[in-house]
């Protein structure tokens, strides 16, 4: 065996390139300004877009200002044109036709704009014990106990019996009332506290407190009192709840966390923290070479089903229409397309270190997170990106100065999760997961790093280039 000298060791050590880099080490003053300016824009988007319907509206507003035009099936499509397809007000497909042949493939960034929350049941209103309540059915994976004793806002739409559409948004303005879910005082919590966390607050106790003043001389008629107010304010009857989509979301606004203001606390980072950079990136790519598509999908949190979820045919219908309009072979377009499945990941948390495997975890401020695969119990439910796709992204990010890290969700046997990646890959498209790491994912108030957000934005821009 040859003797090992210092030069050889240094050379080998130099080859150990997969070292996580902290965005803040070597960041210039100019970088810090860019990181903070972008974070401000993102916070404005967060506060304006707490539900998928609001996210679609806000995104169309931003895209329209940048020259994107509404598209419907059969409309003309031109090279250089920028369009959006609004799918039922709950999902949005933006696309920009590039100068090269579309048969070279589309660069797709796919995020989702629905977040865990509490939806009102179809027959929600009742009173009991001098309190008026709305019954809920939770949407997505939540820790139910986290939703009690915090201020909630109601967002949504009511379609009345005569077809009138009434938008609802109560609890966001500082002069608005908020709503609330009762919890038990610790003094009487002996039985409750002996239960497991998933049973402390059962789903049927997630009832929203909405009032207490009775109508007339019967002190139990609180429900009538509330119906009177709803009739006066919104012109709705109790029956109109049947054709309503109203969600309770945390009434918190996005705010900086920490002395150094490096972290953003907000409701719904999952997945607006990827949706917003993916939206910015398609808007800011002025003269695209590749054809670009940014998808803001609905229903990811409930499995991507339905006509606004990522499993909907609308996705391939649109690619087929665009391809046909440009005289291209749709199958070839899909076969050559590449997609970033833009969804969040879990940040290593020293307070819960035992569920992470640190060699393959995402760390705060270490950039955008790439996951070759997701899934649970033996990668079930993943599309598992090809080594070629990973190599393509590595090369791209190296050239464009994107700071990134490779990670999976947590320890192999600890659980897992899925994204829209597999539903897109099923259409013969190369897909890889890329997104921002989140602290306290799916909690009413989640946290992310401004530096990681900024690197996600740079990553989507690089991909579109």
Cα distance between residue 145 and residue 309, in whole Å: 28
What single-letter DSSP state applies at residue 217? T
Shortest spacing between CB 95 and Mn ion, in angstroms: 22
Q: Select 285 or 382, whichever has its Cβ closest to Mn ion.
A: 382
Q: Select 271 or 452, whichever has its Cβ closest to Mn ion.
A: 271
In sequence order, what are the beta bridge partners of 427? none
Shortest spacing between CB 241 and Mn ion, in angstroms: 27
Q: Name the H helices within 99-178.
A: none
Q: Select 117 or 334, whichever has its Cβ closest to Mn ion.
A: 117
| Secondary structure class of 223 (helix, strand, coil) | helix
Shortest spacing between CB 140 and Mn ion, in angstroms: 6
Residues that bind Mn ion (CB under 5 A): 270-271, 343
Instruction: Identify whether the C-beta of residue 83 lies closer than 8 Å to the C-beta of residue 93.
Output: no
Written as six digits, the tokens of 127 are 């009173």
Q: Select 98 or 416, whichever has its Cβ closest to Mn ion.
A: 416
Shortest spacing between CB 141 and Mn ion, in angstroms: 7
Q: Select 225 or 305, whichever has its Cβ closest to Mn ion.
A: 305
Instruction: Let me know if 354 is exposed, middle or buried by CB neighbors in 10 A (0-12, 13-18, 19+).
Output: exposed
Tell me whether strands 91-96 and 82-87 are parallel, antiparallel or unpaired: antiparallel
Sequence-separated contacts (24+) of 162-170 with Cβ below 8 Å: 164/235, 166/234, 166/235, 166/236, 168/234, 168/244, 168/246, 169/54
Residue 213, number of CB atoms within 10 A of its CB? 13
Q: Select 343 or 433, whichever has its Cβ closest to Mn ion.
A: 343
Shortest spacing between CB 117 and Mn ion, in angstroms: 11
| Secondary structure class of 273 (helix, strand, coil) | helix
Shortest spacing between CB 442 and Mn ion, in angstroms: 6
Q: Select 83 or 460, whichever has its Cβ closest to Mn ion.
A: 460
Q: Select 240 or 300, whichever has its Cβ closest to Mn ion.
A: 300
Closest CA to 146 of 231, 280, 249, 46: 249
Q: For 263-357, where are the E strands, in sequence order?
A: 263-266, 291-297, 338-341, 345-346
Question: 325: part of which helix (H) or strand (E)?
Answer: helix 314-325
Q: Select 342 or 366, whichever has its Cβ closest to Mn ion.
A: 342
Shortest spacing between CB 110 and Mn ion, in angstroms: 11
Cα distance between residue 81 and residue 69, in whole Å: 8
Shortest spacing between CB 386 and Mn ion, in angstroms: 23
Shortest spacing between CB 344 and Mn ion, in angstroms: 5
Residue nearest Mn ion (C-beta atom): 271
Cα distance between residue 63 and residue 52, in whole Å: 16
Cα distance between residue 194 and residue 70, in whole Å: 55
């Amino acid at each position: 065996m040859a003797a090992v000298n210092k030069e050889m060791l240094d050379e080998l050590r130099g080859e150990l390139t997969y070292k996580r880099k902290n965005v803040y080490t070597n960041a210039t003053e100019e970088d810090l300004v860019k990181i903070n300016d972008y974070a401000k824009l993102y916070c404005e988007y967060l506060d304006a877009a707490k539900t998928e319907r609001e996210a679609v509206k806000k995104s169309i507003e931003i895209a329209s200002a940048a020259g994107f035009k509404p598209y419907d099936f059969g409309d003309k499509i031109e090279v250089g044109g920028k369009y959006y397809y609004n799918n039922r007000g709950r999902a949005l497909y933006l696309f920009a036709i590039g100068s090269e042949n579309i048969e070279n493939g589309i660069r797709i960034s796919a995020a989702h704009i629905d977040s865990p929350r509490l939806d009102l049941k179809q027959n929600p209103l009742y009173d009991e014990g001098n309190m008026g309540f709305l019954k809920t059915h939770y949407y997505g994976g939540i820790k139910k106990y986290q939703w009690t004793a915090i201020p909630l806002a109601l967002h949504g739409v009511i379609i009345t019996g005569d077809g009138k559409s009434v938008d609802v948004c109560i609890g966001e303005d500082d002069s608005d009332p908020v709503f609330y879910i009762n919890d038990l005082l610790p003094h009487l919590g002996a039985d409750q506290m002996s239960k497991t966390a998933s049973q402390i607050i059962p789903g049927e106790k997630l009832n929203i407190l909405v009032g207490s003043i009775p109508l007339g001389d019967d002190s139990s008629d609180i429900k009538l009192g509330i119906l009177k107010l709803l009739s006066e304010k919104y012109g709705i009857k109790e029956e109109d709840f049947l054709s309503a989509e109203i969600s309770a979301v945390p009434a918190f606004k996005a705010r900086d966390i920490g002395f150094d203001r490096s972290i953003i606390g907000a409701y719904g980072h999952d997945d607006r923290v990827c949706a917003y950079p993916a939206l910015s990136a398609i808007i800011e790519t002025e003269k695209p070479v590749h054809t670009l598509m940014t998808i803001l999908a609905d229903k990811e949190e409930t499995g991507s089903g339905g006509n606004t979820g990522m499993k909907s045919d609308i996705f391939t219908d649109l690619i087929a229409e665009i391809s046909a309009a440009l005289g291209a072979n749709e199958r070839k377009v899909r076969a050559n397309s590449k997609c970033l499945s833009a969804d969040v990941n879990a940040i290593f948390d020293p307070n819960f270190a035992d569920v992470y495997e640190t060699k393959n975890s995402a760390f705060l401020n270490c950039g955008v997170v790439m996951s070759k695969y997701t899934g649970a119990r033996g990668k079930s439910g993943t599309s598992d990106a090809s080594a070629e796709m990973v190599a393509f992204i590595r090369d791209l990010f190296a050239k464009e100065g994107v700071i990134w890290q490779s990670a999976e969700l947590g320890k192999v046997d600890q659980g897992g999760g899925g994204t829209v990646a597999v539903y897109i890959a099923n259409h013969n498209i190369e897909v890889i997961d890329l997104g921002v790491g989140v602290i306290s994912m799916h909690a009413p108030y989640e946290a992310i790093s401004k530096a990681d957000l900024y690197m996600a934005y740079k990553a989507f821009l690089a991909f579109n280039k």
